[in-house]
């Protein structure tokens, strides 16, 4: 959502975007742009849309003195998603996933707040997302973070999906940022009561590497547990030292320049090839994260329709 809004602003559309706030700037100034983007993803074939609330946390809103608006803005995110569904007459086929995000910098397991703060802030966020159909704890970087957020969502009685970001450690071992390997992530997360374990906000190739391990780790788990992934259109970055101030580019800046996130030439056909790998490895939930446009989602939908005709 954030990167697509950023791209639209750079193209001259009426979209507010802030380096400090991701898509939250649009919520504050141009909410119509958020609703329109949801609508575009639905028209492209999305059957689940995620609330634009990744940066609706005290960590981000404190930067502009608006931390007291967490509840209000999360509720707005749900309303905008539902508005788009209603406008496209898709109520029977499209679900809203309420985004339960990291509470500090993305990818930084070392910056995850203490458990007391996690519980307090997640309680506020989760309660304000009760209008959603699914809870999506996404871009989780540590099992400690997930061990607070996920059970709190499950306790509300809604389907809960947990999604983790991935990296290779110094020994080239695939893991989440806190060092937990994929197999342990899956087993521990399933035990928390989720309905799906996903991987997101990383290169599609890392998701392809993770899914066979995740599928093997599901052995003996309830049959309803699903796997999936939604990747980025970025090259992998130094996640151990990532901060939004140093690694995100201003609107219109050269994303290949110093400190900019390096955007890949990830065309729709290439992304669909990656998605096909995920599906062959047991994924049943697939989509896109940063930099994945409605055109990419349309390509995934076309793949699905082609497969169904065979």
Q: pTM of the full predicted structure? A: 0.93
Per-chain mean pLDDT for the chain: 91
Residue 153 assigned to a binding site:
no
Angle at 59 between CA 195 and CA 239, to 5 degrees: 70
pLDDT category at 254 given cuts 50, 70, 90 is: very low
Is the predicted pLDDT of residue 55 greater than 90, yes or no? yes
Q: By three-state DSSP, how is residue 163 classified?
A: strand
pLDDT digits 0-9 by tens, 11-25: 899 999 887 788 899
Q: What is the DSSP letter of 245?
A: H
Is 201 known as a binding-site position? Answer: yes
Q: Is 289 annotated as a binding residue?
A: yes
Calculate ∠ Cα 97-273-284, nearest 5°.
Answer: 35
Which domains does the chain possess? Answer: 2-309 (3.20.20.330)
Q: How confident is the model at residue 240 (pLDDT cuts 50, 70, 90)?
A: confident
pLDDT for 149: 99
The predicted pLDDT at position 71 comes to 98
Across the chain, the runs of DSSP E, i.e. the strands, are 48-50, 95-100, 134-140, 160-164, 167-168, 174-175, 196-200, 226-231, 283-288
């Amino acid at each position: 959502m954030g990167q697509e809004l950023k791209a639209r602003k750079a193209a001259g559309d009426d979209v507010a975007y802030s380096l400090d706030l991701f898509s939250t700037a649009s919520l504050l100034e141009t909410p119509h742009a958020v609703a329109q983007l949801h609508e575009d993803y639905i028209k492209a074939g999305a059957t689940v849309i995620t609330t634009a609330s990744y940066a609706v946390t005290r960590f981000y809103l404190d930067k502009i003195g608006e931390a007291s608006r967490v509840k209000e803005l999360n509720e707005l995110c749900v309303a905008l998603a539902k508005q788009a569904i209603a406008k496209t007459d898709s109520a029977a086929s499209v679900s809203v996933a309420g985004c339960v995000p990291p509470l500090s910098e993305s990818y930084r397991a070392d910056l995850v707040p203490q458990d007391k703060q996690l519980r307090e802030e997640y309680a506020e966020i989760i309660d304000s997302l009760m209008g959603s159909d699914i809870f999506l704890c996404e871009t989780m970087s540590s099992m400690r973070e997930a061990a607070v957020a996920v059970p709190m969502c499950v306790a509300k009685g809604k389907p809960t999906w947990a999604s983790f970001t991935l990296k290779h450690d110094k020994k080239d071992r695939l893991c989440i940022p806190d060092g937990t390997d994929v197999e342990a992530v899956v087993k521990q997360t399933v035990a928390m009561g989720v309905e799906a374990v996903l991987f997101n906000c990383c290169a599609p190739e890392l998701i392809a590497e993770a899914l066979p391990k995740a599928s093997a780790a599901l052995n003996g788990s309830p049959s309803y547990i699903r796997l999936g992934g939604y990747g980025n259109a970025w090259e992998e970055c130094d996640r151990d030292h990532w901060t939004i101030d140093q690694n995100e580019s201003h609107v219109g800046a050269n994303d290949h320049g110093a400190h900019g996130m390096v955007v890949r030439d990830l065309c729709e056909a290439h992304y669909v090839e990656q998605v096909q790998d995920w599906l062959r490895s047991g994924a049943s939930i697939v989509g896109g994260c940063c930099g994945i446009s409605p055109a990419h989602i349309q390509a995934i939908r076309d793949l699905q329709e082609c497969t169904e005709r065979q």
